[in-house]
Structure 1
Amino acid sequence: MQVKSMDSVKKLSMKTLQSISAHLAIPEYDRSSCGQSILHLGIGGFHRAHLAYYIHQLLQRDGSSEWGIFGTGLGFPSDRKMKEALSSQDFLYTLVELGADRAGNTESNIGNSEMKAYVVGSILGMEIACDNLQEILARIASKTTKIISLTITEGGYYYNSVTGKFMIEDEQIQKDLSTPESPSTAIGLLVEGLRKRMITNNSQSKVTLLSCDNLPGNGNVLRTVIEGYTKALDNGNTLYAWIKENVSFPNSMVDRITPVTSDLLIQKLRESYFVDDVWPVNTEPFVQWVVEDNFAAGRPQLERVGVQFVNDVLPYEHMKMELLNASHSLMGYLGFLAGFKYIHEVALDDEYRAIVLHYMNREVTPVLEPVPGIDIEQYKNSLMVRFQNSRIKDTLVRICLGGSSKLPKFLLPVVRKQIAAGGDFTVAALLVAAWFRYLLGVDENGHSYEVDDPMAEALHCTAKQAGTSPDLFFEYGDLFAPDVVNSDAFRNRVTFFLQSLHRLGSRTTVHNLIIKEKIRIDVI
């Protein structure tokens, strides 16, 4: 390894860019001449590895552009930490791509030839909404803002995926509706900003609200909650009609595995690239974005850098969520209970990998609709390579977050289709049982852990009451649709696996299922 004194390590900033360029690729465009036509709500790791990455690539290709990004957050601790980190380095950050490796190497021992790092400059500023509310509302209202994009996680939409309705009764939503001029939710903030936009610009105010969250029909969901909130406002009819005429909500499918930044990565950048970045982003080389071409006020030409614009995103969404996301959760819960720490460890285990492949091939693929331009077999193979990327070090703790928001969207659509078709849902039932077992908050070695979920308190209490019976869980109508609840075959499978997980543990339960179902094991 090349060694230099710590004096040669440069703090990432505009002033140090040229000296950093000896070791890292830097923005070649003039950031000072970029517009800020994109307002993004929810600056996190995924946004910086995805939308901000794509905009950066476009700026690198085409030079000065109107499509720079200004960021905001509602004021969560993570938002404040992000603003502090980015503002300390002029909103520049390092993006690090770590290629697939099955040999067990990690970022602590990989060489520079196996690691691609470069500085991204597409984010031009950031403010916290609750600290500078009028500024953020003014940006939403400004006709120079043409796209308002979001990564606010599933819970930020207040949308019930089982009923397909806006959760208007939620306490935070009701609070915003009572004082709409000082919103605390993303939905309330957007609607108040749109109201000001209507008043300020009226007919010259078309704008696109672009969800980049991992939700099926994310644009449709965003439209549903924005319109539902607007209709609930006093005298909201005029604004509701204006939104329907002037605001578009394209659906999009997003994909790039982006784990939490580690201290090892920060140190690696200092040692090998001589740059001090307080919050870099590490991700995989793979990136995909499929977007419905429905932009009310124009859009950047992102097809030049690999974004796919289509008329119908839903087949791509179903493919990704039902194959990638559900498989992630399957490995997450089963692996966590068994004592694994990272996704790649589970994916490299012969028996767990066999269960995942069986789920993909036997339970998901038969009910997938055709996906234009995609070879499903190749796609599934690529997923396993991505899962086995040991350099990413994607933690099971991250994967297990928010199961009540994820499983109804990623897994249960497959279950419902298989129930209707009289098909196989064996591994899907195992995943549901593993989630129920995880909610107990104690692993197979007796170690306690915190269940991180929007419904954590209620679900944890249910897990303690339920024991080895899933019946109490199936009473959650917001999680399980009637056709799932009323399927005796599915409930019986879940009961069998939940009892096995309690009695025998994850490893033995998986092994027994492989023997019973004669599931093929391919040894790496």
Structure 2
Amino acid sequence: MEVSLSQNALACLHHRVTVPAYDRRRLAPGILHIGLGNFHRSHMAMYLERLFERGEAYDWGIVGAGVMPADVRMRRRLQKQDWLSTIVDLEPGAISARVVGSMVDFAPVDAGAIIKALSDQRIRIVSLTITEGGYFLEPATGRFDADHPRILADAAAPTRPTTVFGMIVRALADRRAKGHPPFTVLCCDNLPGNGDVTRRSVVGMAELIDPDLAGWITREVAFPNSMVDCITPRTTHRERALVRRRFGIEDAAPVVCEPVRQWIVEERFSAGRPPLERVGVQFVDDVSRYETMKLRILNAGHACIAYVAALLGHRYVHDAMADPDIRRWLLALQHREIIPALSVIDDVAYPSYLESVVARFGNAEICDTVARLCANGSTRQPKFILPAIRDALTLGLPIQGLALELALWCHYCRVAGEASQVPVISDPLALRLKAGARKAVRDPQVFLTIREVFHELADTPRLSAAFAGWLTLIEAQGVRAAIRGYVDQGAQSSSNRQTS
């Protein structure tokens, strides 16, 4: 019989389920997290749960907050179960469940209530997972878009903000006026230089309202960069049924995720931090090399397999990794073109990290979908693939495989939705991408001239020539022949080196 999740029901849960062993009544707010979805609960909330289990840092409980319609629904679900969440680690052959109690409240989805919660002196860290599109960045430059209508509206009415950044600035202004110390703003979104991006958005908002306040924020508020990692799929009907069937828990918002977590954070905080290093978080002076490693090997790795997997009819990521041609293609591209461009990290062996990533991709328990990896290519490619191309060009390294990845994306954009096994394009630029991909059959350069994606790379002869060659091969011989051709090129080169 299933048990509806609540504080009072914890004693009734199956013995296989780990429940909080500490007294949750002793927790006090210390962190306010905006955008409380699956990733936050599988990641930050789990690290804090482990810290509380040690009997430490009870003054760092989590308060949720959000400004989107989904946050209203999430608050309603979690409130009914006393802010508890079931987190299921999908370890092959050893699936486990833990009820996490590190959350103590969730501010009403209302600007006034959120600002009041942000102004609470007990809140010393404000963390964010609001997705890449939530930072009001100009697509072409990555700078804060001070002319966005919602930003201008907040600047015109700073006491009635509707955006996350308007609310943060308002709360910081209140703290400053009362002589209270500011909080740290800690971004946990998967963005390069995520702390720097967040600082630009907060300070940019403040400059429109009060330049003097903007100067104070620049001097006093810390925005550490961080690298976050835990593959966490969406919760669907399947995941809720799994938690109910396997662990006897009726949870309206469970989370399933891989059993691997990594969190590396720059040691810069305005008002202290919990001792998370005791539960596996790594604090460093500069996170950039670790961040680049993850973006190029894990995130770019996802991008490299996404479109070829979709084109070859694979629905799940683990199925794609069981395809020998896709696996060899991913490994060849990483070893030949991506890893050689990475800066050395003393305590990291890149081949070992790649091996662990490939194993994670192959975890069949996660059931991560290829369609998810294919979505939003116009934002993912500029973050994960195009920077690798720029680095390779600068360093004089080969770009044949990276150009093939772009050709596979282009071909996917042309045929997506037309063949039953290839999912439709889910992308804000879907119509533009499809039109460019169709024209690219006759003139490959057309696809690269989608400036909002490729920018100056459209004018790079080496890339244009390689891209055109692969696109022609794909059209003539098919996707599998193209990736096999790339793998075989490397094998032939290696053989030639040995004979010479």
TM-score, L = length of structure 1: 0.88
Does residue 460 of structure 2 align to residue 506 of structure 1? Answer: no
Give SS of 1:124's match: strand
Q: Is the 8 A contact 1:444 1:505 kept in 2?
A: no
Residues 142 and 50 of structure 1, relative CA distance in 2, 3 Å threshold: same
1:73 alignment partner, one of 54, 66, 70: 66
Q: What amino acid does structure 2 have at the position aligned with 1:92?
A: L
Residue 231 of structure 1: how far off its partner (Å): 1.6
1:84 alignment partner, one of 76, 79, 84: 76
Q: Is the 8 A contact 1:29 1:64 kept in 2?
A: no
Residues 296 and 275 of structure 1, relative CA distance in 2, 3 Å threshold: same
Spell out the pairing of 1:292-371 with structure 2 (5 A cutoff): 292-371=266-345
- Give, in whole Å, the separation in 2 of the partners of 1:453 and 1:30: 45
Pick 1 or 2: higher relative contact order, CA cutoff 8 A, min separation 6.
1
Residues 184 and 428 of structure 1, relative CA distance in 2, 3 Å threshold: farther
Q: What whole-Å deviation, never above 9, does each CA across 1:275-297 have from its counterpart, x for those lacking one?
A: 11122111111110000010110
Q: Is the 8 A contact 2:316 2:369 kept in 1?
A: yes
Does residue 190 of structure 2 align to residue 214 of structure 1? Answer: yes
Number of the residue aligned with 1:43: 36
1:422 alignment partner, one of 382, 396, 419: 396
Q: What amino acid does structure 2 have at the position aligned with 1:17?
A: L
Does residue 15 of structure 2 align to residue 22 of structure 1? Answer: yes
Q: What whole-Å deviation, never above 9, does each CA across 1:38-93 have from its counterpart, x for those lacking one?
A: 010111111111011111111111256111111111123x3233222212211111
Worse-matched range after superposition: 18-27 or 348-357: 18-27
Residue 142 of structure 1: how far off its partner (Å): 2.2
Q: What whole-Å deviation, never above 9, does each CA across 1:89-115 have from its counterpart, x for those lacking one?
A: 111111111124xxxxxxxxx6xxx11
Does residue 406 of structure 2 align to residue 432 of structure 1? Answer: yes
1:118 alignment partner, one of 98, 102, 105: 98
Give SS of 1:118's match: strand
Q: What amino acid does structure 2 have at the position aligned with 1:212?
A: C
Q: What amino acid does structure 2 have at the position aligned with 1:510?
A: I
- Give, in whole Å, the separation in 2 of the partners of 1:88 and 1:390: 32
Residues 176 and 68 of structure 1, relative CA distance in 2, 3 Å threshold: same
- Give, in whole Å, the separation in 2 of the partners of 1:520 and 1:385: 27
Number of the residue aligned with 2:167: 189
Number of the residue aligned with 1:61: 54
Q: What amino acid does structure 2 have at the position aligned with 1:493?
A: A
Residue 319 of structure 1: how far off its partner (Å): 0.4
Number of the residue aligned with 1:223: 199
Does residue 242 of structure 2 align to residue 261 of structure 1? Answer: no
Residue 166 of structure 1: how far off its partner (Å): 1.4
Number of the residue aligned with 1:239: 213
Q: Is the 8 A contact 1:352 1:510 kept in 2?
A: yes
Does residue 416 of structure 2 align to residue 442 of structure 1? Answer: yes
Residues 87 and 375 of structure 1, relative CA distance in 2, 3 Å threshold: same
- Give, in whole Å, the separation in 2 of the partners of 1:474 and 1:128: 45
Does residue 477 of structure 2 align to residue 497 of structure 1? Answer: no
Unaligned ranges ≥5, structure 1: 1-7, 101-109
Give SS of 1:439's match: helix
Worse-matched range after superposition: 259-268 or 400-409: 259-268
Identity, in percent, stands at 35
Residue 214 of structure 1: how far off its partner (Å): 0.7
TM-score, L = length of structure 2: 0.92
Residues 291 and 396 of structure 1, relative CA distance in 2, 3 Å threshold: same
Q: What amino acid does structure 1 have at the position aligned with 2:247?
A: Y
**Greater per-residue helix proportion:** 2
Residues 229 and 490 of structure 1, relative CA distance in 2, 3 Å threshold: same
- Give, in whole Å, the separation in 2 of the partners of 1:455 and 1:191: 32
Give SS of 1:480's match: helix
Residue 347 of structure 1: how far off its partner (Å): 1.3
Give SS of 1:159's match: coil
Q: Is the 8 A contact 2:232 2:258 kept in 1?
A: yes
Residue 476 of structure 1: how far off its partner (Å): 4.0
Residue 474 of structure 1: how far off its partner (Å): 3.2
- Give, in whole Å, the separation in 1 of the partners of 2:117 and 2:464: 50
Give SS of 2:86's match: strand
Residues 83 and 454 of structure 1, relative CA distance in 2, 3 Å threshold: farther
Q: What amino acid does structure 2 have at the position aligned with 1:44?
A: G
Number of the residue aligned with 1:471: 445
1:32 alignment partner, one of 25, 29, 39: 25
Residue 481 of structure 1: how far off its partner (Å): 4.0
Residues 94 and 426 of structure 1, relative CA distance in 2, 3 Å threshold: same
Number of the residue aligned with 1:98: 90
- Give, in whole Å, the separation in 2 of the partners of 1:500 and 1:175: 51
Worse-matched range after superposition: 350-359 or 330-339: 330-339
Number of the residue aligned with 1:5: none
Residues 272 and 207 of structure 1, relative CA distance in 2, 3 Å threshold: same
Q: Is the 8 A contact 2:436 2:450 kept in 1?
A: no
Residue 268 of structure 1: how far off its partner (Å): 2.8
Residue 344 of structure 1: how far off its partner (Å): 1.0
- Give, in whole Å, the separation in 2 of the partners of 1:169 and 1:125: 34
1:127 alignment partner, one of 104, 107, 120: 107
Residue 425 of structure 1: how far off its partner (Å): 1.2
Number of the residue aligned with 1:12: 5
Give SS of 2:419's match: coil
Q: What whole-Å deviation, never above 9, does each CA across 1:144-190 have from its counterpart, x for those lacking one?
A: 21000001111111224763421223333333333333333322332
Give SS of 1:345's match: helix
Equivalenced residues, count = 494
Give SS of 2:170's match: helix
Q: What whole-Å deviation, never above 9, does each CA across 1:447-489 have from its counterpart, x for those lacking one?
A: 674432343454445445555544344334443242x222111
- Give, in whole Å, the separation in 1 of the partners of 2:404 and 2:458: 16
Does residue 356 of structure 2 align to residue 382 of structure 1? Answer: yes
Number of the residue aligned with 2:497: none
Q: Is the 8 A contact 1:160 1:478 kept in 2?
A: no
